[in-house]
Chains A and B, each alone.
Chain A
Amino acid sequence: MLEIKNLKAGVEGTEILKGIDLIINAGEVHAIMGPNGSGKSTLAQVLAGRAAFEVAEGSVTYKGHDLLELAPEVRVREGLFLAFQYPVEIPGVNTTYFLRAAVNAVREHHGEAALNAVDFLKLMREKIELLQLDEALLKRSVNEGFSGGEKKRAEILQMALLNPTMAVLDETDSGLDIDALKVVANGVNTLKRADNAQLIITHYQRLLDYIVPDFVHVLYDGRIVKSGGKELALELEEKGYDWITNGELQTA
């Protein structure tokens, strides 16, 4: 579904990703872990199409298309969704209005009729139950005045509404208390199917107690330095990132 080959990217001439190789197939859940500054969020932003990051080398193929050629809105319409680490507040834009516009943009892309307000509300009610979100939030402006936990749950609500085939979650677990974490993890697990895939970017092993990955990759200094099964996450938790960092130093 997603194939990243020798991806090198950076911002303002500073190289952050120094050659990433990664293949994700349908039905798989991948986790990327790594210390601060390893390039985790850059990878997420490059996949979503943030213009501030320049791709210097390499390729990303998504469902057979050159992903890097697609505009951000086309990527998400084609099913590649990013849950933001820091969801953006947009005062004055009503959340329900925004969500309906997003859902209808995706539907129109696939030649489906736009949902009217009534049908959309029905769809949304189903999804907010899953995420235990207060319906009152949906009458407020997008993310404005939401707590950290509410913002992250709202991201997963958007994911549930847009029904992506390739979801990238950028530190969705950061800053969540354990109850919120369980709700988010439950939401993500419910959305997992045989024909979609998830890439979970996280700083903490804790999330992986609730979302069980098929593969774990360790990102360090812009490269994937170690890959393995879910046991790698436990090993990381036990030994800390120093284990990887020191290993690097020894090799050097």
Chain B
Amino acid sequence: MVAPANNAVDRLLAVLPTRGEGGASFAEMGFPTTRDEDWRFTSVAPIAELEFTAAEADAAAKLEGCIFSEIAGPQLVFVNGHFSNELSGVGELPEGMEIGNLASAAFKPCEAEDAFGALNAASFTDGSRVRVADGVCFETPIRVYYLSTGGDGATANIRNHITLGANSKATILESWTGADAAYFNNTITELSIGDNAQLEHVKFQDESTAAFHVAGLHATMGRDCRVAHHSIALGGRIARNNIRARLDGTGIEAVLNGLYLPRGKQLIDHHMVVDHLQPHCDSHEYFNGILDDHARAVFHGRIHVHKGADKTDAKQTNKNLLLSDNATVNTKPQLEIYADDVKCTHGATIGQMNAEQIFYLRARGLDEEAARRMIMHAFAGEIIARIGCPPAREELDRLVWDRLEDK
């Protein structure tokens, strides 16, 4: 039975624990509608119609078959938004390095930009907490697994907080997977990156295609830092990623790199706002999507170059390959420039498989099917190749390839 959407806020607040004024703030904002510019192409009505329950801890959950399992090092595991002590293991850490769960530390969430943010701030149960002290270079990738074993309507609010001190370095690999059900994960990750620090952040989102996934990534960056965020989005009935990057220091290099492969009736939405506040920063967004069946994708990339952010070099590319006539893409690259001396480009393409390319490959001896596969693989491979962590890159490359083959 479909629950009425109009009292979704009340029904959620009735089943979830809330803290502080957060619940009131969420109630005031209410679920966004397609009349909101930021949600024009993504209706959250199917989420509002869920019969919500609070996702509960599950001691029987197992990590079997998860990605990145060949990689050694610290791992954090959250089951339905609850920290699993049994499945997690951190091991010996260098001085100044902390890896654990957020609920065990004092934490004040950042200001919410929408109802999902407010809901998360009010109701998050737990999430990862990583702190890297100044000057600590932690070369081992830190793996964080989010498992969902709940049924339809099981709702988890997850909050992650990652802080890198000046001159530090870390790699974080996230994996989101779950049982075949219409559960709902609402997550916010706060990233605070110090001066001259380096972070590679890989998010592998492979939720159930019946599930809902709403995620916010809020990154604040210090001068001369290098940040790469990779969003490999495969799952979710509706998967929305709000990515917010504030480049508030000179000499920052930020790469937002994403691949989405929706099929069936999936909708995968990346909504980005990159603020250039200081001069001499580079930001590059590369998003490729391959869509099949009745799938939909949304790309919204806004680069805002503030007054004084001269010598900004900002690039935005969104390329889409449609394998079916029924697939849809809404792409909206956007530049807002208030500085004088900048280099900004944006471009978006939506197309079927390029006939010229296929003929060229056939004229070199490849049969049509092999040619199509080579082009499709290339489209995904272009994004995966930007992942710096070799074992993660290789495993994702194989996994994405298998996924594309298994039509």
Least distance between A109 CB and chain B CB atoms (Å):
7
Q: Which residues of A contact B378 (CB under 8 A)?
A: 90-93, 141
Interface of B is mostly: helix
| Smallest Cβ-Cβ distance to A101: which chain B residue | B366
B356 located at the interface, meaning its Cβ lies under 8 Å from any Cβ of chain A in the complex = yes
Q: Which residues of A contact B365 (CB under 8 A)?
A: 73, 76-77, 101-103, 105-106, 109, 162
Quick check: which of B5-13, B27-35, B123-131, B368-376 contacts chain A, the rest being far away? B368-376
Q: Which residues of A contact B356 (CB under 8 A)?
A: 88
A48 located at the interface, meaning its Cβ lies under 8 Å from any Cβ of chain B in the complex = yes
Decide if B374 touches A50 in the complex (CB within 8 Å): no
Decide if A105 touches B360 in the complex (CB within 8 Å): no
B306 located at the interface, meaning its Cβ lies under 8 Å from any Cβ of chain A in the complex = no
Interface size of B as a range: 20 to 34
A98 to B377, CA, bound (A): 12
Decide if A72 touches B379 in the complex (CB within 8 Å): no
Q: List B194-240 residues whose CB lies under 8 Å from chain A.
A: none
A162 to B382, CA, bound (A): 27
B363 located at the interface, meaning its Cβ lies under 8 Å from any Cβ of chain A in the complex = yes
A81 to B363, CA, bound (A): 7
B394 located at the interface, meaning its Cβ lies under 8 Å from any Cβ of chain A in the complex = no
With A92-B381, A141-B378 as given contacts, are A73 and B366 in contact (CB-CB < 8 Å)? yes
With A90-B378, A141-B378 as given contacts, are A102 and B359 in contact (CB-CB < 8 Å)? no
Least distance between A203 CB and chain B CB atoms (Å):
21
Least distance between A100 CB and chain B CB atoms (Å):
11
Q: List A80-118 residues whose CB lies under 8 Å from chain B.
A: 81-82, 84, 87-88, 90-93, 98, 101-103, 105-106, 109
With A73-B368, A92-B382 as given contacts, are A101 and B374 in contact (CB-CB < 8 Å)? yes
A72 to B371, CA, bound (A): 12
Q: Which residues of A contact B367 (CB under 8 A)?
A: 71, 73, 105
A71 to B360, CA, bound (A): 13
Decide if B374 touches A76 in the complex (CB within 8 Å): no
B326 located at the interface, meaning its Cβ lies under 8 Å from any Cβ of chain A in the complex = no
| Smallest Cβ-Cβ distance to B360: which chain A residue | A88
Q: Which residues of A contact B379 (CB under 8 A)?
A: 92
Decide if A98 touches B363 in the complex (CB within 8 Å): no
Least distance between A42 CB and chain B CB atoms (Å):
14
Decide if B360 touches A90 in the complex (CB within 8 Å): yes
Using an 8 Å CB-CB cutoff, how does the interface string of A60-86 with B read, 1 for contact, 0 for none?
A: 000000000001110111000110100
8 Å CB contact of A93 from B362, B363, B368, B374 = B374
B140 located at the interface, meaning its Cβ lies under 8 Å from any Cβ of chain A in the complex = no
Which 8 residue pairs across A and B have the least CB separation, nearest first? A92-B378, A105-B365, A92-B382, A88-B360, A102-B364, A72-B362, A93-B378, A73-B362
Report which B residues bind A (CB closer than 8 A): 356-357, 359-368, 370, 374-375, 377-379, 381-382
Q: Can you identify 19 A-B contacts, CB atoms within 8 angstroms?
A: A48-B363, A71-B362, A72-B363, A73-B364, A75-B363, A77-B365, A84-B360, A88-B357, A88-B359, A90-B357, A92-B375, A92-B382, A93-B374, A93-B378, A98-B374, A101-B374, A102-B364, A105-B367, A162-B365
